[in-house]
A and B are shown apart, each in its own frame.
Chain A
């Protein structure tokens, strides 16, 4: 079993939809949780960073962490075609970061 599980998708939604991206993990030592967006042929871009259970909001993005269930989510409101990308969850304990495999999202106009 992988330490971090993420559905690879692709996830296809119409423009304006609310998108829910999720990751589960098995290592209870993970303390920091991040979401990255990666466009094709580009490096990952940090979207959200949180270290506590609960919600963190930034514009159209909301990151949710449930440490008791070892489950994190990224919600995208009013999704746009420009949100089409691969979304990677990542988490760390100490200096090492463990990534999910990424979910490919396609937002259709």
Chain B
């Protein structure tokens, strides 16, 4: 089946640094990918919709200058958490639609900001 891969699966960084998370569709092209944030024991919270070749669409309350999204190719979207702070520590997950209408998720990336 279709696979969406995220990297890194876990990252620890110092406060004030920037962290990039990659989301790749491995065996299909994805014009649209989604980025979510999930806190412990809570459901997924959609952050933004990443569109290949154009600007991402951010959900209300999500700072676009804080969470930079780049969807430069049909198989890769990146989320950069800029000037990360401890409150940005969370589980970040991406997903992508296949041409058959199924939505697959990446394995998630756990960010810890010290």
B43 to A46, Cβ gap below 8 A? no
B44 to A88, Cβ gap below 8 A? yes
Q: Is A99 an interface residue (CB 8 A)?
A: yes
- Using known A-B contacts A41-B91, A101-B43, determine if residue A46 contacts B104 with beta carbons closer than 8 Å: yes
B6 to A88, Cβ gap below 8 A? no
- Using known A-B contacts A32-B101, A95-B97, determine if residue A43 contacts B106 with beta carbons closer than 8 Å: yes
**How many residues does chain B have at the interface if contact means C-beta atoms less than 8 Å apart?**
22
A41 to B103, Cβ gap below 8 A? no
Q: Shortest CB–CB separation between residue B84 and chain A, in angstroms?
A: 19
Contact of B93 among A32, A43, A104 (CB under 8 A): A43
Report chain A residues within 8 Å CB of B95.
Answer: 44, 97
Bound CA span A99–B38, Å:
13
Prevailing SS type, chain A contact patch: strand
A99 to B104, Cβ gap below 8 A? no
Prevailing SS type, chain B contact patch: strand
- Using known A-B contacts A41-B91, A95-B97, determine if residue A88 contacts B43 with beta carbons closer than 8 Å: yes
Residue of chain B at shortest CB distance from A44? B105
Q: Kindly supply a per-residue 1/0 record for chain A positions 78-108, scoring 1 wherever the CB is within 8 Å of any chain B CB and 0 otherwise.
A: 0000000000101010010101111010000
Q: Is A36 an interface residue (CB 8 A)?
A: yes
Q: Is A45 an interface residue (CB 8 A)?
A: yes
A46 to B106, Cβ gap below 8 A? no
Residues of B within 8 A of A (CB): 1, 6, 32, 34, 41-44, 49, 91, 93, 95, 97, 101-108, 110
12 more CB-based (< 8 A) A-B contacts, given A43-B105, A43-B107: A34-B102, A36-B105, A41-B91, A41-B108, A42-B107, A43-B93, A43-B108, A46-B105, A49-B101, A95-B97, A97-B34, A97-B103
